[in-house]
């Protein structure tokens, strides 16, 4: 997890896309993991809008999946407010 997080210090779009493509299908589990949620936080911080939308689609594809993330003590959910 720390090795992947180090990729986000000065990431290229290729680095971001590579990591996202590998974790997007299990990102809900990473969001609830005591260590994986830090990876998700760092990943989201460097993602572009399209990549963040892919993450949102992944965590909302199943009923109550997002609720389970929110109710988990380690759960991490990001919110971006645009004006």
Mean pLDDT (the chain) is: 86
Asked whether the beta carbons of 21 and 27 are under 8 A apart, the reply is: no
Specify the pTM. Answer: 0.81
Residue 34: strand, helix, or coil: coil
Q: Does the pLDDT at position 54 exceed 50? A: yes
Structure tokens at 51: 């990549």
- DSSP code string of 1-33: -HHHHHTTSS--HHHHHHHHHHHGGGHHHHHHS
What pLDDT shows up at residue 83? 43
């Amino acid at each position: 997890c720390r090795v992947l997080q180090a990729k986000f210090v000065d990431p290229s779009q290729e680095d971001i896309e590579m990591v996202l493509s590998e974790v997007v299908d299990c990102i809900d589990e990473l969001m609830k993991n005591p260590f994986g949620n830090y990876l998700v936080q760092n990943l989201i911080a460097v993602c572009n809008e399209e990549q963040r939308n892919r993450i949102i689609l992944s965590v909302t594809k199943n009923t109550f999946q997002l609720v389970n993330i929110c109710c988990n003590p380690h759960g991490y959910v990001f919110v971006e407010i645009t004006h």
